């Protein structure tokens, strides 16, 4: 079975631009979460979606938004990019949000803002 997939793998953008990152969860998983990892730190929670509804939001500005589609794939959008948005963006999927919410991560999208 395929794991979590993310696209693109790498991306270079200029300050002020907009970016869209994509994630496909493991087949059968209905929850998708997004994390940002800057160099030298652990991943930080951005959003969680379950059954197309936002279930949680981390401490990120409104420039960050996301959505989940009927097929449970997800997009993360970042507007008005800043240099500080340069990071590895990780997507994780899980079967559910209660019971056994074990999360599985994709390979990430490395975003560089110049």
Name the residues that contact another protein, by CB under 8 A: 31, 33, 35, 37, 41-45, 48, 50, 55-56, 58, 88, 90, 92, 94, 97, 100-105, 107-108, 110
Smallest distance from the beta carbon of 36 to another protein, in angstroms? 11
- Name which of 11 and 58 has its Cβ closer to another protein: 58
Q: What share of the chain is helix, strand, coil (3-state, %, to 5)?
A: 5, 50, 45
CA–CA distance, 58 with 79 (Å, rounded to integer): 17
- Name which of 18 and 88 has its Cβ closer to another protein: 88
Smallest distance from the beta carbon of 41 to another protein, in angstroms? 7
Phi, psi of 87, rounded to the nearest 5 degrees: -175, 175
Smallest distance from the beta carbon of 18 to another protein, in angstroms? 23
| Measured CA distances, 65 to 24, 27, 99, 102 (Å) | 17, 24, 27, 24
């Amino acid at each position: 079975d395929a794991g979590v997939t993310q696209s693109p793998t790498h991306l270079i953008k200029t300050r002020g631009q907009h970016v869209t990152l994509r994630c496909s969860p493991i087949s059968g998983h209905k929850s998708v979460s997004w994390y940002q990892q800057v160099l030298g730190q652990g991943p930080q929670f951005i959003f969680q979606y379950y059954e197309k509804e936002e279930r949680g939001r981390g401490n990120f500005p409104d420039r960050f938004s996301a959505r989940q589609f009927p097929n449970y794939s997800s997009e993360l959008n970042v507007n008005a990019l800043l240099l500080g948005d340069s990071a590895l963006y990780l997507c994780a999927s899980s079967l559910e949000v209660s019971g056994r919410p074990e999360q599985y991560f994709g390979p990430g999208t490395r975003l560089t803002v110049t």
